[in-house]
Structure 1
């Protein structure tokens, strides 16, 4: 089977539109894997290789969350518009509009993992399984660990970051260069970075509204509306089989993932030894094997 989409389109979401891509047959009878991307404010592109699961029968849906990619762009909306509830409602709307709300699995990566966990905690009837990949259980935990990782960077790098963050000059070339040192160690260890992740980064660069409003100027300097957000209060309510994925060098460190393992009743954790934040790109063959094994047990 080709990884070419079997369908593309948009669904109405209030007065806006959500773009989606289908690989495989949504009516196959198997639960549909829905890929919830990170950011917030990124796009589906860097998760495209999940479409290869359609080769073994699992239909896959990618979508771009509102604000970026093929979905409605709203660059004039303020921070008060971009809420967790907005993106939860968009996900519910997509599932219903595609007719898959009665039989689906969520794969949430990074911010998408937290969003998927929050969705799953409401015990939706059609959810069959949950994969939380490279996601923290809370942003306060994340920020604590970012401090640890930053202090382990080569001498002088964190000092550059701190100086520009204090001055509000995080768009400077010097800050970006120092930021790249962190990213190459804890976001993606491949050189050069794969085309798919570069496509998503380009989308964020061209329209940073959502990322900057909710997150901030970088992965490790979270000063947006999510800085205090957590799912610690609800993840014990997740009732479906769950898989945790993280990388040995992940910016989502074990301390940020541990609460999922401690609190979700039916869960297992796979750590990818040669990966950072993107095991699906850094160790793609093992990643697909782990995903296929998990999905097989859901069938």
Structure 2
């Protein structure tokens, strides 16, 4: 199966991309990684979807193998929407699917609302479509943590010591509940940690998962979900920080949508239940292509 990679000029620099199974007959799917400021690295196993179609990964500007310009003014959602449009134009897509995860769903929704032409379907995996709803969900999730962990989080936040080891350890406990339930991260996943760019995350989201203080703090597209008229699949893990309740709510607002929960996963179902995740994605995408 062929693999090709290269760079695309976008506003602010060049982004790295990779295409698996270019030229396959079925409609390509473009993967939008989480973050902001993360990379495609943790999602690379989704190249398994290339058995049926072209699969495109790209690292958003500022992270991964893409350029890292020292210009904080670049880190806002409008530029990332423009960047995605530039990527799809450069790859000469007439029609394509989008699979976004976490922040990638924020980007996917914002992109659709501005550039819907050619998008055949969307998969919104562990969605973040409302920063205020996300923040409220994390307040509720924190109440499910051990009392001593809750206390540490609150005290460090009140004292301004969120850079302390105690706070970091407490957030690790949160992660083990709601981000990934894997006991051991595979070595290949650990190798990609240097691809992240914390500056982008801090500017757009904030210093922690819990409190949205960055320029995405008012992002909320729930009132516009009714205008999405393409097939859309919403998924999340049973223990996801993108909670099943909120994910189902987003799905209920979206015509022609489907909702699926990965019962043994938190936020990283594409790793925690890799085989089932890939199969659910394949079934959805193939069903869309076969219906047209």
Q: Does the Cα contact within 8 Å between 2:137 and 2:243 map onto a contact in 1?
A: yes
1:261 aligned counterpart, secondary structure: helix
| Distance of 2:156 and 2:194 partners within structure 1 | 23
Equivalent residues in 2 for 1:77-156 (5 A)?
Answer: 77-78=71-72, 80-100=73-93, 102-122=94-114, 124-156=116-148
Cα distance, 1:255 vs structure 2: 3.0
Q: Does 1:70 align with 2:65?
A: yes
Deviation at 1:15, TM superposition (A): 4.3
Q: Does 1:262 align with 2:259?
A: no
CA–CA separation in structure 1 for the residues paired with 2:91 and 2:213: 35
Paired residue for 2:201? 211
Offset at residue 188 of structure 1 (A) = 0.5
Range 39-48 or range 209-218, more displaced: 209-218
- Are the structure 2 counterparts of residues 202 and 254 from structure 1 closer, same or farther at C-alpha, using a change threshold of 3 Å? same
1:14 aligns with 2:14: no
- Stretch deviating more after TM superposition (266-275 or 194-203): 194-203
Q: For 1:112 and 1:197, how far apart are their aligned partners in 2?
A: 19
The alignment partner of 1:264 has SS state of coil
Assess, with a 3 A threshold, how the Cα gap between structure 1 residues 274 and 174 changes in structure 2: closer, same or farther.
same
Whole-Å Cα distance in 2 between the matches of residues 160 and 142 of structure 1? 21
**Pairwise CA RMSD of aligned residues?**
1.6
Q: Which moved more, 1:167-176 or 1:288-297?
A: 167-176
Change (3 A) 1:133 1:15: closer
Measured in 2, the distance between the counterparts of 1:280 and 1:60 equals 15
Q: TM-score, normalised by structure 2?
A: 0.94
Q: TM-score, normalised by structure 1?
A: 0.92
| Contact in 2 for aligned 1:123/1:238 (Cα 8 Å) | no
Q: Structure 1 pair 269/190, CA: closer, same or farther in 2 (3 Å)?
A: same
2:159 to 128, 148, 167: 167
Deviations 1:191-235 (A, max 9, x none): 11234543444422xx31101111112222322111221111322
Deviates more, 1:120-129 or 1:130-139: 120-129
Return the alpha-carbon distance in structure 2 between the equivalents of residues 275 and 93 of structure 1.
Answer: 34
Aligned pair count? 289
The 8 Å contact of residues 120 and 130 in structure 1, kept in 2 or not, is answered as: no
Return the offset for 1:283: 0.6
In structure 2, what is the Cα distance between the partners aligned to 1:113 and 1:97?
Answer: 21
Structure 2, unmatched stretches of 5+, are none
CA contact 2:25–2:53 (8 Å) conserved in 1 = no
**Whole-angstrom CA distance in 2 between matches of 1:90 and 1:123:** 12
Shift, 1:34, TM fit: 0.4
C-alpha distance in 1 between matches for 2:208 and 2:12 = 30
C-alpha distance in 2, partners of 1:257/1:199?
Answer: 31
**Matches of 2:191 and 2:212, distance apart in 1:** 22
Q: In the alignment, does 2:182 pair up with 1:190?
A: yes
CA contact under 8 A between 1:123 and 1:237: conserved in structure 2? Answer: no
